[in-house]
Amino acid sequence: MKTRGWRTVAGWSLASTAALVAGCGDDSPSALDPSGPSASRVAGLWWLMLVLATLVAVAVLGFIGVALVRGRGTEGGRPSRITDNGFILVGGIAVPVVILAVLAVATVVVTNDITDEADDPLIVEVTGERWWWRVGYPEQEIDTANELHVPVGRPVEVRLESDNVVHSFWIPQLAPKVDLIPGQPNRIIFTASAAGTYRGQCAEFCGIQHANMNFVVVADEPADFDRWVEDHRSEPATARGESEFRSSACAGCHTVEGVTTGDRGPDLTDFGSRQTIAAGALPNTPENLRRWITDPHSVKPGSLMPPVPLTDDEVDAIVDYLDGGR
């Protein structure tokens, strides 16, 4: 019976380890796979901590092994008293103080370096909403949501705010997490060193849909970034479905530049170019968009987006309009 208990424990441990490792697939952004100077410095700190923690673990396990083998010993028929105060002073106080001091200095130095002023940064304003990201580029006069485009090689200064609860902005491969705290503007500076799509995630529990508060950062070559800015700012041609969108309840909450001016939900200008719907809850396909519009709470329970009363034809027209006829 006892052996079976241990086998069950071992089985579960193996299974959960396998599940953890499987979670680290290609799709999962890792802070140990940095793609910019800020994230590289943070990864360096992680490795320093791992090395120190390993040394401590090996030393402690070694002492436990020695104690097990040697036993406590006796003095005049009684268990001997512990009298080696020097060992406790060195191993229990001096060594931990040195290790923690090294980590504290390294952390402060790295934090200072990666929050230093940058030359000519691209300014992006990010506001944490429940449960999505409002994104603005004040110089380029672009408003969007849940997807940042940044040029490779240019520092990006993200100004972070929230007017509701605390969120945390984290792009593991590009920058450490920074909280968005109501009444306390924060910022983070990072540079992407390679073109690509980087996953970001809200890293502070912020309510029922915290887990579905994702975003992506698309690092473009500078020419591609300029093209994205141009595409975004160009006046949209009147498209099929525009009048349905304009006269639906959607218009009350969502802006499409030059068409509607709602402000409660994400700006939907150029929505068709985005990779996901509802802050990463679903890939952006016409079928998923239809499901999101007709039954948002089946996708994201607790979302502030209400189901919109529309006929099938109206939904078709609006899906067509938003996804740009994809």
Binding site for ligand CUA (CB under 6 A): 128, 131, 167, 202, 204-206, 210, 213
Given the complex with ligand CUA, which of 260 and 303 has the nearer CB atom? 303
Least Å distance, CB 301 to ligand CUA, is 15
> Closer to ligand CUA at the Cβ: 241 or 296?
296
Orientation angle between helical segments 312-322 and 286-294, nearest 10 degrees: 130
Q: How far is CA 50 from the centre of its chain?
A: 22
Least distance CB 279 / ligand CUA (angstroms)? 9
Distance between CA atoms of residues 323 and 326, nearest Å? 6
CB of 163 to ligand CUA, least distance (A): 13
Neighbours of 66 (CB within 10 A): 9
Helix axes 37-70, 95-114, angle to 10 degrees: 170
Q: Walk across the sheet containing 122-129 and list its strands.
A: 142-145, 132-137, 122-129, 156-162, 186-190
CB of 149 to ligand CUA, least distance (A): 21
Q: Which is nearer to ligand CUA, 7 or 264 (CB)?
A: 264
Is 178:186 a contact under the CB 8 Å cutoff? Answer: yes
Q: How far is the CB of 320 from ligand CUA (least distance, A)?
A: 31
Q: What are the two backbone dihedrals, phi and then psi, of residue 256, each rounded to the nearest 5 degrees?
A: -120, 120
Q: Which is nearer to ligand CUA, 191 or 201 (CB)?
A: 201
Three-state DSSP class for residue 228: helix
DSSP string, 41-72: HHHHHHHHHHHHHHHHHHHHHHHHHHHHHH--
Q: How far is the CB of 157 from ligand CUA (least distance, A)?
A: 21
Nearer to ligand CUA, 126 or 318 (CB): 126
Please identify, using beta-carbon distances, which residue of 167 and 254 lies nearer to ligand CUA.
Answer: 167
Q: Name the residue among 314, 304, 295 with its Cα closest to residue 247.
A: 314
Q: Which residues contact 54 (CB under 8 A, 6 or more apart)?
A: none
> Measured from the CB of residue 116, what is the shortest distance to ligand CUA in angstroms?
27
Nearer to ligand CUA, 131 or 245 (CB): 131
Q: Say how far apart CA 192 and CA 154 lie, in whole Å.
A: 7
Query: In this complex, which beta carbon is closest to ligand CUA, that of residue 40 or of residue 184?
Result: 184
- Of 111, 107, 126, which Cα lies nearest the Cα of 167? 126
Nearer to ligand CUA, 167 or 232 (CB): 167
Could you tell me the smallest distance in angstroms from the CB atom of residue 128 to ligand CUA?
Answer: 5
The neighbour count for residue 178, using CB atoms within 10 Å, is 18
